[in-house]
Amino acid sequence: MANPILVTGAAGRVGAVGRTVAELLLKQGKAVRAMVRNEDERAQALRDMGAQVVVGDLLDLDSMHRAIAGCETMYFGMSVSDAYLAATVNAAAVATLTHILKDESRST
């Protein structure tokens, strides 16, 4: 199996962009690792679609290491804010990726 594409914000509470990206990738037959903050019905729905779900926090380096392990590509769809600046730094710090796809349309 190909290395999974890590999709942050895959549960899709705000704007559902991460969830939409995960769905589109899965429909294309790509392996998706969906990063969610909570184990809930949205995480189960992602599993039901075929995604590998990992529960984690973008502000926690250990959970970022677990989420990113084995991935070469990451969709990082976080808005620009003080709260997410540390998350962006954490993602970059643990990245051993070939590609990082950042959704610039969500910048504030």
Domain count, the chain: 1
Q: Comparing C-alpha atoms, which of 22, 40, 39 is closest to residue 31?
A: 22
CATH number at residue 13: 3.40.50.720
78, 64 contact by CB (below 8 A): no
Torsion of CA 37, 28, 91, 34, to 10 degrees: 20
With 0.75 as the threshold, say if the pTM is over it. Answer: yes
Where in the sequence is the domain holding 78, given as residue range(s)? 5-106
User: What is the full per-residue pLDDT of the chain (108 aa) written as tens digits?
Assistant: 589 999 988 987 666 788 999 999 999 999 999 999 999 999 999 999 999 999 998 888 888 889 989 988 888 877 667 767 777 777 777 766 555 555 555 444
31, 50 contact by CB (below 8 A): no
The identity of residue 85, as a single letter, is: L
